[in-house]
């Protein structure tokens, strides 16, 4: 739409003034509450206990959501909230990757607690405007826009005068409206979703950042778990934060030197080593597409296989050499040396409502390339990039969509669903055009696209209810756990990674633990005790990023040249020490590695008990679909027959030639399922949980998280 002639003051439904004060050592010490139904706007103080126990980011989100909801609250009840919080380190510009926010809500997919991390400008700008978190409750009667004006210190709510729905347009329109001129565009951060979020359960949120070189907005995504669906269900069209500019020390940190010194060293590592290591500046996270294929880890045809002969066509070199614009500032937050938010410029769309338009596409990142590519049997970056664009602007998660479509394609090829059900679409693996049509239908709220938008778990239930396919087979191949779709790694040959996926608090996302190399390739963690230790340390360490406003990629995607001399090089100890220094630099409080892990443990256990409070969070909810652990089909077994036969020989002393494939599959399954149960036992013990996966009271006392409301929940389950 044209914004000419629009004056949002004509649409104002609420204005609330506040007194701004400077941030103190990373904290504003207050949060912002907005009820979009009652139009109540207020600030809430942040207590010392909240800072000590919950730190910020996801911790603040979980605390606020717990207090705002009942165990029976549903995702689409007005009392459900969306909370956005960056954390105390969030917004610094002297150490890379410090612009992240965590978004927390009750998920339409899992019916439990969801958290999703995202870059972009909104989180830091909201913090600079005066608030450690934004807590949105209620449901507006009509579409609204929320404006946090950090320049005049007001919060305003407007009825939507008709801004576009899809994020690539709405982001530009709102930036143009709120920026006084082009120079001011860098001071605007926007949260929005898109058309598909209105008709599906898998909606995501886009967070803009201003690309000063390209003079346009870019998009980063809080993708997982359907929070964009909650956003649109609350009739929120967009949230805008504006500030008067980013300066060197808006966080008013305690000791800047403790941040700048490691920050400079880190930037030097990126300058000197990135080209010889992952080439993050040239390929972004997609640098591992070909690596995953080489190690048999690239999900192909709904996670059946880990590699494919056509995967050479989506080698990451093509992104670097043909698609990505190089030599341009691609950081999603100011001061980040990693520069991995790659983009494809001038991409001409060939399908959908924007057919023929030339656009910038943010990505593809690794997960997107694997999800919208190999996992759907599509090996053409042109198709992957087109799907990437539409997922973003329609407001749906690329990871989720890839796993959904891969499941649908396998169901189609197994005649569980057919053309009658799909409305004539031939949804074989590799049929990109048919897959595009499903996505466009989802955005229009039509046809089979609406069914796809339910997600894998609800599709499994629907198909079983309709008598389409064998429910056990659907369960085995439907790659979800807790209702959330798997992200894009094949975990079959790594028991630790199976735990890294299915034991997560929110569902199988790789942000807790990525242990495949340590386990499968390096054989560093051969015993259950080793695996349990890794499944304690890594999820806790990585949880910490989400408490602080930090990006986890910065930790591990470049490695110092002397890392090989460290005792535990896989932890990249120098970068861990950097984080301890940065934390102390911001807050003024010294922190040890043990203290860091303890901060995370408190929040991690709180989230586990939050799940229990909502009827989840027990051992049975950590169960995985069998495809995550082993071969479901004969062709899957045969694709790795040598490896599986060898394992059976070693484990059971049998001659594989004397058994049928089906017999061998059954033996392997029994063994692998038993191994996973042993893993659960070991990890629960290491985490201080009982056999049912419930934190023990003693453990909560030990980590000083024995809050009465938690003890009340877990006491009957001890």
Could you identify the residue written with the tokens 């050479």?
312
- With a CB cutoff of 8 Å and minimum separation 6, the contacts of 617 are 112, 505, 608, 609, 610, 611, 693, 694
Return the residue of 552, 614, 672, 699 that touches other proteins, per CB under 8 A: 552
Neighbours of 19 (CB within 10 A): 7
- Measured from the CB atom, the residue of 542 and 687 that comes closer to other proteins is 542
* Contact window for other proteins (CB under 8 A) among 104-112, 411-419, 562-570, 662-670: 562-570
Does 447 engage in binding with other proteins (CB under 8 A)? no
* Contact window for other proteins (CB under 8 A) among 417-425, 460-468, 566-574, 576-584: 566-574
* Contact window for other proteins (CB under 8 A) among 181-189, 381-389, 418-426, 520-528: 520-528
**Minimum distance of other proteins from residue 481's CB (angstroms):** 17
CA-CA-CA-CA torsion for 412, 416, 420, 422, nearest 10 degrees?
-50
Beta-bridged to residue 116, according to DSSP, are 103
- Measured from the CB atom, the residue of 137 and 563 that comes closer to other proteins is 563
Binders of other proteins among residues 217 to 246 (CB under 8 A) are none
Residue 253 token pair: 């940190």
Ranges assigned E (strand) in 86-235? 101-106, 113-118, 134-137, 144-149, 154-159, 188-192, 205-211, 216-222
Return the residue of 510, 602, 608, 621 that touches other proteins, per CB under 8 A: 510
Does 116 engage in binding with other proteins (CB under 8 A)? no
- Measured from the CB atom, the residue of 256 and 597 that comes closer to other proteins is 597
Binders of other proteins among residues 568 to 587 (CB under 8 A) are 569-570, 572
Residue 91 token pair: 């917004």
Identify whether the C-beta of residue 223 lies closer than 8 Å to the C-beta of residue 397. yes
Binders of other proteins among residues 467 to 506 (CB under 8 A) are 489
Return the residue of 564, 650, 708, 716 that touches other proteins, per CB under 8 A: 564
**How far apart, in Å, are the Cα atoms of 71 and each of 78, 224, 228, 533, 713?**
14, 22, 22, 32, 11
- With a CB cutoff of 8 Å and minimum separation 6, the contacts of 655 are 649
**Minimum distance of other proteins from residue 515's CB (angstroms):** 9
**Minimum distance of other proteins from residue 283's CB (angstroms):** 12
* Contact window for other proteins (CB under 8 A) among 84-92, 174-182, 399-407, 515-523: 515-523
Return the residue of 4, 181, 247, 276 that touches other proteins, per CB under 8 A: 276
Return the residue of 325, 475, 524, 692 that touches other proteins, per CB under 8 A: 524
Return the residue of 325, 556, 675, 690 that touches other proteins, per CB under 8 A: 556
Four-residue CA torsion sign, 144, 397, 623, 475: positive
Does 303 engage in binding with other proteins (CB under 8 A)? no
Characterize the bridge pairing of strands 12-17 and 154-159. Answer: antiparallel
Binders of other proteins among residues 358 to 387 (CB under 8 A) are 366
> What is the Cα–Cα distance from 256 to 258, expressed in whole angstroms?
5
> What is the Cα–Cα distance from 409 to 46, expressed in whole angstroms?
49
Could you identify the residue written with the tokens 């301890």?
580
* Contact window for other proteins (CB under 8 A) among 138-146, 270-278, 436-444, 692-700: 270-278
**Minimum distance of other proteins from residue 177's CB (angstroms):** 38
* Contact window for other proteins (CB under 8 A) among 78-86, 104-112, 509-517, 599-607: 509-517
- Measured from the CB atom, the residue of 167 and 563 that comes closer to other proteins is 563
Return the residue of 117, 221, 290, 403 that touches other proteins, per CB under 8 A: 290
Identify whether the C-beta of residue 362 lies closer than 8 Å to the C-beta of residue 368. no
**Minimum distance of other proteins from residue 464's CB (angstroms):** 33
Four-residue CA torsion sign, 261, 262, 267, 270: positive
Burial class of residue 68 in the structure, from the number of CB atoms within 10 Å of its CB (0-12 exposed, 13-18 middle, 19+ buried): middle
* Contact window for other proteins (CB under 8 A) among 79-87, 512-520, 579-587, 641-649: 512-520
Does 309 engage in binding with other proteins (CB under 8 A)? no
Candidates 430, 450, 454; CA nearest to 440 is 450
* Contact window for other proteins (CB under 8 A) among 199-207, 389-397, 521-529, 614-622: 521-529
Identify whether the C-beta of residue 680 lies closer than 8 Å to the C-beta of residue 619. yes
Does 291 engage in binding with other proteins (CB under 8 A)? yes
CA-CA-CA-CA torsion for 592, 597, 599, 603, nearest 10 degrees?
170
Residues of the shown chain interacting with other proteins in the complex, contacts defined by CB under 8 A? 276-278, 285, 288, 290-292, 294-295, 366, 489, 510-511, 513-514, 516-518, 521-524, 526, 542, 552, 556-557, 559, 563-565, 569-570, 572
């Amino acid at each position: 739409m044209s914004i000419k002639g629009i004056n949002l003051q004509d649409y104002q439904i609420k204005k609330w003034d506040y007194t701004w004060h400077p941030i103190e050592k990373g904290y504003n010490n207050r949060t912002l509450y907005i009820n979009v139904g009652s139009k109540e706007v207020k600030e809430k103080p942040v207590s010392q206990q909240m800072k000590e126990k919950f730190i910020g980011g996801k911790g603040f989100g979980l605390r606020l959501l717990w207090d705002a909801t009942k165990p029976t609250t549903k995702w689409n009840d007005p009392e459900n909230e969306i909370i956005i919080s960056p954390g105390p380190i969030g917004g610094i510009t002297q150490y890379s990757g410090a612009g992240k926010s965590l978004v927390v809500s009750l998920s339409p997919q899992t019916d439990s607690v969801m958290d999703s991390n995202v870059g972009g400008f909104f989180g830091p700008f909201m913090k600079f405007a005066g608030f450690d978190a934004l807590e949105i409750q209620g449901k507006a009667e009509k579409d609204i826009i929320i404006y946090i004006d950090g320049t005049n210190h007001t919060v305003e709510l407007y009825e939507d005068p008709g801004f576009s729905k899809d994020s690539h347009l709405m982001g530009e329109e709102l930036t143009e409206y709120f920026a006084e001129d082009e120079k001011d565009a860098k001071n605007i951060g926007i949260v929005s979703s898109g058309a598909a979020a209105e008709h599906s359960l898998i909606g995501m949120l886009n967070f803009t950042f201003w690309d000063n070189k390209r003079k346009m907005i870019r998009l980063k995504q809080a993708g997982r778990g359907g929070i964009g669906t909650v956003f649109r269900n609350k009739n929120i069209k967009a949230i805008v934060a504006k500030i008067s500019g980013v300066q060197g020390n808006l966080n008013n940190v305690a000791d800047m030197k403790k941040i700048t010194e490691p920050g400079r060293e880190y930037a030097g590592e990126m300058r000197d080593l990135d080209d010889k290591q992952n080439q993050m500046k040239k390929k972004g996270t997609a640098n591992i597409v070909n690596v995953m294929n080489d190690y048999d880890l690239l999900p192909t045809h709904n996670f059946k296989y880990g590699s494919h002969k056509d995967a050479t066509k989506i080698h990451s070199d093509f992104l670097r050499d043909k698609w990505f614009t190089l030599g341009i500032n691609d950081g999603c937050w100011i001061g980040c040396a990693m520069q991995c938010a790659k983009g494809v410029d001038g991409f001409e769309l060939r399908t959908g409502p924007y057919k023929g338009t030339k656009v910038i596409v943010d990505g593809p990142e690794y997960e997107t390339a694997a999800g919208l590519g190999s996992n759907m049997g599509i090996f053409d970056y042109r198709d992957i990039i087109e799907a990437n664009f539409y997922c973003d602007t329609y407001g749906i998660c690329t990871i989720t969509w890839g796993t959904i479509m891969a499941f649908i394609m396998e169901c189609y090829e197994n005649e569980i669903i057919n053309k009658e059900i799909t409305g004539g679409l031939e949804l074989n693996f590799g049929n990109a055009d048919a897959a595009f049509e499903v996505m466009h239908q989802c955005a229009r709220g039509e046809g089979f696209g609406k069914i796809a938008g339910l997600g894998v778990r609800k599709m499994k239930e629907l198909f079983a209810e309709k008598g389409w396919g064998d429910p056990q087979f659907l369960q085995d191949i439907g790659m979800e756990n807790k209702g959330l779709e798997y992200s894009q790694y094949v975990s079959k040959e790594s028991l630790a990674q199976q735990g890294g996926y299915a034991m997560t608090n929110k569902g199988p996302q790789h942000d807790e633990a990525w242990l495949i190399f340590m386990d499968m390739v390096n054989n560093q963690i051969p015993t259950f005790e080793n695996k349990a230790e890794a499944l304690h340390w890594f999820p806790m360490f990585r949880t910490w990023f989400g408490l602080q406003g930090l990006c986890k990629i910065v930790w591990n995607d470049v490695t110092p040249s002397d890392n090989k001399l460290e005792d535990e090089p896989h932890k990249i100890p120098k970068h861990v020490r950097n984080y301890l220094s940065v934390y102390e630099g911001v807050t003024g409080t010294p922190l040890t590695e043990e203290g860091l892990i303890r901060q995370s443990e408190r929040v991690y256990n709180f989230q586990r008990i939050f799940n229990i409070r909502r009827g989840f969070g027990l051992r049975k909810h950590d169960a995985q679909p069998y495809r995550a652990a082993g071969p479901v089909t004969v062709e899957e077994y045969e694709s790795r027959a040598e490896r599986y036969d060898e394992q059976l020989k070693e484990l059971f002393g049998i001659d594989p030639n004397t058994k049928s494939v089906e017999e061998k599959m059954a033996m392997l399954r029994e063994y692998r399922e038993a191994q996973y149960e042993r893993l659960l036992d070991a990890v629960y013990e290491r985490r201080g949980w009982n056999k049912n996966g419930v934190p023990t009271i003693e453990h909560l006392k030990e980590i000083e998280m024995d809050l009465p409301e938690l003890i009340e929940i877990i006491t009957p389950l001890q």
